[in-house]
Amino acid sequence: MRYTILTGDRPTGPLHLGHYVGSLRQRVELQQQHNQTVLVADLQGLTDNGHNPGKISDNILNVVADYLAVGIDPVQTTICLQSALPALSELTMYYLNLVTVSRLERNPTVKSEIEQKGFERSLPAGFLVYPVSQAADITAFAATHVPVGDDQLPMIEQTNEIVRSFNRIAGAPVLTECQALLGKVSRLPGIDGKAKMSKSLGNTITLGASEQEIQAAVMQMYTDPHHLRVSDPGQVEGNVVFSYLDAFSTDPEHIAALKAHYRRGGLGDMVLKRLLNDELQTLLAPIRARRAEFLADKGELTRILAEGTRRAQAVTGEVLAQVRQALGLAMFV
């Protein structure tokens, strides 16, 4: 079965390993057999950067370069810019009338990010309603499947609530419900051991990180604080280094043997960190090189983004026309 897939990222900075395991490597696989669109979500990036728009505009091409560097093919995958798709903003306005403020405030993803960013009552209105904007993105492409990390599952649920509400009002299945596609590793902890790798927390390894930056990040990683001597039995659960080895090792049987050895005792943390460093260096060296090549030709990156956006404008415009028709607002068509 061929899926219609929508995914994307906020261009608040270069993408990192959390993005890679959460969605990027899955996108490379999915583009081979499915209809996939990747959205550079600059409007969503502005929801908590409205007073610093340069942070968003400066990173748009960085994110496009990251996509190409990991193997996303602009021929197989449509890469487009959110702000250049006017249908998305109009759909968001329609959907806002179907969602209560209390429902948005109960969204677990929104709640956790409000707490993480320390917004409290200084919360930008755009940030509160970005689940609705995300629903507009997904439905505008009639996406059936959305690759996400497990922290984004409440967004999928809220999107489907909006779809059901709209279709009930329209009396017809105008909009399409979607399903989440979870990767093998749905969330990668930060190098500091916090639950999520995040640019805002400063606990990331970016896809363009240098050899020295990768090594320094690995050496900073937390292991088992009670594993004081090599001979001591160690705990694997909650051990950041093992979390990364699970996510990136190409030899899971070897990692399983290392876990058993670590639990027995006799395996030092530095052995594990050196192994992880080797794995990450092997993974990121070619990505870093390709990324630098793409960034050297920003004209080509802009052309790729513009071409994908033109294709996306046609798709989203068609869905918007159907929504207007269903609402009785297609007065001049």
In CATH, the number for domain 208-292 is 1.10.240.10
Q: Average model confidence (pLDDT) for the chain?
A: 93
Say which residue, 321 or 152, is predicted with more confidence.
321
pLDDT for the residue numbered 333: 65
Q: What is the DSSP string of 6-44?
A: EEEE--SS--BHHHIIIIIHHHHHHTTTSEEEEEE-HHH
Does the domain at 4-189+298-327 match CATH 3.50.50.60? Answer given as: no
- Chain centroid, CA 80 distance in Å: 15
DSSP, residue by residue, 251-303: -HHHHHHHHHHHHHS---HHHHHHHHHHHHHHHHHHHHHHHHHHHT-HHHHHH
240 or 222, which is more confident?
240
Tens of pLDDT, residue by residue over 244-271, are 999 999 899 999 999 999 999 999 999 9
Torsion (CA) 60, 19, 224, 113 in degrees, nearest 10: 70
| Lowest-confidence pick of 1-10, 182-191, 306-315 | 182-191
Mean pLDDT of 12-16: 94
Decide: pTM greater than 0.85. Answer: yes
Task: Tell me the C-alpha distance between 223 and 23, whole Å.
Answer: 26
pLDDT, residue 257, reads 96
What pLDDT, on a 0 to 100 scale, did the predictor assign at position 186? 63
The mean-pLDDT minimum among 92-106, 114-128, 202-216 falls in 114-128
Q: For 110-134, what is the mean pLDDT?
A: 82
Amino acid present at 256: A
What is the residue extent of each domain of the chain? Answer: 4-189+298-327, 208-292
Better-scored residue on pLDDT, 274 or 120: 274
pLDDT band per the 50, 70, 90 thresholds, residue 142: very high
Please tell me which residue, 328 or 113, carries the higher pLDDT value.
328
- Fold agreement between 4-189+298-327 and 208-292: no
Distances (CA, A) of 132 to 89, 110, 125, 150: 10, 11, 12, 18
Whole-number percent of the chain with pLDDT over 70? 98
